[in-house]
Amino acid sequence: MKVLITGGAGFLGSHLAEAWIDRGHEITVLDPASDLKIRHLRANPRFRAIRESVLNREILEGLVAWSDLVYHLAAVVGVEHYVGDPYQVLTVNINGTQDVLTAAFRHQKKVVFTSTSEVYGRNTAVPFHEDSDRVLGSTTTDRWCYATSKAAGEHFCFAFARMGLRVVVLRYFNVYGPRLDQMDRGRVITIFMGQLLRGEPLTVIGDGVQTRAFAYVEDAVRATVQAGLRPEAEGLAINVGSEEEVSILDLAERMVRISGSASRVIRVPQEAVYARGYEDIPRRVPAVRRMREILGVRADTPLDDGLKRTIEWFKRQ
Binding status of residue 75 toward ligand UDP by CB under 6 A = no
Closest CA to 303 of 263, 250, 264: 250
Question: Which is closer to ligand UDP, CB of 99 or CB of 118?
Answer: 118
Binding residues for ligand UDP restricted to 267-306, rule: CB under 6 A: 273, 280-281, 284
Q: Of how many residues is the chain composed?
A: 317
Q: Which of the stretches 60-68, 150-158, 200-208, 290-298 binds ligand UDP when contact is defined by CB under 6 A?
A: 200-208
146 is catalytic: yes
- Rank residues 100 and 119 by Cβ distance to ligand UDP and give the closer one: 119
Of the candidates 71, 120, 146, 216, the residue annotated as catalytic is: 146
Selected from 77, 205, 223, 311, the binder of ligand UDP by CB under 6 A is 205
What does the per-residue mask of binding to ligand UDP show for 17-36, with x meaning CB under 6 A? --------------------
Q: Which of 200, 173, 181 is nearest to 263 (CA)?
A: 200
d(CA 267, CA 62): 50
**Chosen residue from 5, 70, 79, 237 binding ligand UDP by CB under 6 A:** 79
Task: Rule CB under 6 A: choose which of 171, 187, 222, 290 binds ligand UDP.
Answer: 187
Q: Is residue 194 part of the contact set for ligand UDP (CB under 6 A)?
A: no
- Cα-based angle 70, 148, 171 (whole degrees, multiple of 5): 45
Residue from 16, 188, 223, 291 binding ligand UDP (CB under 6 A): 188
C-alpha span between 106 and 160 (Å, rounded): 11
What letters, b where the CB count within 10 A reaches 16 and e where it falls short, cover 195-209?
Answer: bbbeeebbbbbeebe
The residues in 163-182 that bind ligand UDP, with binding defined as CB under 6 A, are 174
Looking at the DSSP bridge assignments, the partners of residue 268 are 205
Stretch that binds ligand UDP, among 6-14, 183-191, 218-226, 256-264 (CB under 6 A): 183-191
Contact 171, 117 (CB under 8 A): yes
Q: In the bound complex, what is the minimum distance in angstroms from residue 73's beta carbon to ligand UDP? A: 17
> With left for phi above 0 and alpha for psi between -120 and 50, is residue 174 left, alpha or beta?
left
Number of helices followed by number of strands (H, E) in the chain? 11, 13
Which DSSP string corresponds to 23-49? TT-EEEEE-SS--GGGGGGTT-TTEEE
The whole-angstrom separation of Cα 240 and Cα 134 is 17
**Contact call for residue 207 and ligand UDP (CB under 6 A):** no
Report the residue from 150, 212, 283, 290 that binds ligand UDP according to the rule CB under 6 A: 212
From 14, 115, 203, 224, residue interacting with ligand UDP (rule: CB under 6 A):
203
- Which residues would be at the binding site for ligand UDP (CB under 6 A)? 79, 174, 186-188, 191, 203-205, 210, 212, 248, 273, 280-281, 284
Q: Which residues are catalytic?
A: 146
